[in-house]
Amino acid sequence: MTTLQGRVALVTGTSPNIGGVLASGLAAAGAKVACNDIVAGHAASRAETIIATGGEAIAVPFDVTDEVAAGAAVHEVLQTWGGIDILVNNAVAFDMAGVLDMPVERFRKQVDVIVGGAFILTQLVGQSMVSRGRGGSIVNILSTAAWQGQAGNIGYCTAKSGMINFTRSVAMELAPHRIRVNALTPTATIPDDPEQARRFTEVFDGLAGAGKMDFNGLNPWERLPTPSDYVAPLVFLASDDAAMMTGTNITVDGGALAKYWPQIPGRQFPDGQLRDGQPSAHAK
Ligand SMILES: NC(=O)c1ccc[n+]([C@@H]2O[C@H](COP(=O)([O-])OP(=O)(O)OC[C@H]3O[C@@H](n4cnc5c(N)ncnc54)[C@H](O)[C@@H]3O)[C@@H](O)[C@H]2O)c1
């Protein structure tokens, strides 16, 4: 895949989980990648990984809610590579709490990282794209929690669903400049790294065991996605192949959002068999 040859990307929140894999995926498709994170080590190690695998990358550690630091970092990328063609707003602060209990400062902080950070980066990078006059592609990373109401996760659900119409609104504003703005919706993800995957699997199993949430049992597909599953859709949205796509979303969730809500996968037929008679992966 070299569809992004010569392009420059800035990815926020390049942890070893999704953002880092997305940054590597853009680099593998030919882009030069500026890796951001508030944790300097995350940004640095992702840039090192990309360079070690033959790509071009720099680390730009900063807090996405800090307008001055973000401005300096965007300036650095522009000085280094002459322009930014792709922005991926991926940084997130997880902080699960419900509306009855969450202190308003924590709510504000979480919404500020997700929506405020995307606003600042979109403004700064958008301005640079407009003045350069070569168009561009902005991709906002959502979540299935943007499209559904999850109890006890008020800041995340609010901010992520806000990003749906942020995406549409910015897409309309920037269309005259040939800057496309789209969203990518992941869902509960099993990390590519085996050790991280083991820990996440334990968490998911624990939630199911406690009868709270059943990610595997209610998932229509045979497995949960990994960060690698998001790379090709992101590269597509970032590339000229998606030239007529703006203000929209690609969901990569194994069908989770498409599912009729009360249906238990694999149990839709009385004998627990799929239509072709094969036993369901979910049949228990
Ligand atoms: N992991 C999942 O199961 C899942 C599911 C659906 C959607 N998503 C979305 O995918 C994206 C990546 O998720 P992830 O699981 O890789 O998250 P993660 O927690 O592994 O990574 C997020 C990164 O953002 C960084 N960050 C936090 N605050 C920041 C700030 N103010 N400025 C800059 N960086 C900051 C963190 O340090 C971290 O490295 C997020 O947008 C998330 O909402 C994740």
**Ligand 1 center to 90 CA (angstroms):** 6
How many residues would you count in the chain? 284
How many domains is the chain partitioned into structurally?
Answer: 2
Residue 1 lies in a domain: no
**Ligand 1 center to 53 CA (angstroms):** 23
Report which protein residue has its CA nearest ligand 1's atom 8: 143
Say yes or no to pLDDT of 282 above 70. no
In a shared domain, residues 176 and 207: no
In Å, how far from its chain's centre is CA 169? Answer: 19
Q: What is the pLDDT of residues 169-198, one digit of tens each?
A: 999 999 999 999 999 999 999 999 999 999
How big is the chain by its Cα radius of gyration, in Å?
19
Burial class (CB in 10 A: 0-12, 13-18, 19+), 257: middle
Q: What is the pLDDT of residues 125-156, one digit of tens each?
A: 999 999 999 999 999 999 999 999 999 999 99
Residue 2 lies in a domain: no
Q: What is the pLDDT of residues 235-252, one digit of tens each?
A: 999 999 999 999 999 999
In short, whether 57's Cβ falls inside 6 Å of ligand 1 is no
**Residue (of 80, 12, 65, 5) closest to 43 by Cα position:** 12
In short, whether 42's Cβ falls inside 6 Å of ligand 1 is yes
**Residues marked as catalytic:** 156
Residue 266 lies in a domain: yes
- Contact assessment for residue 77 and residue 60, using Cβ atoms and an 8 Å cutoff: yes
**Ligand 1 center to 12 CA (angstroms):** 9
The mean predicted confidence, pLDDT, of the chain is: 94
In a shared domain, residues 111 and 215: no
Residue 181 lies in a domain: yes
pLDDT, mean of residues 89-103: 98
Residues 6 or more apart from 134 whose CB is under 8 A from it? Answer: 83, 85, 178
pLDDT in the model for residue 1: 46
What is the C-alpha to C-alpha distance for residues 152 and 14, in angstroms, rounded to an integer?
26
Structure tokens at 203: 């968490």
- Residue 266 structural domain: 194-224+261-284
Report which protein residue has its CA nearest ligand 1's atom 23: 13
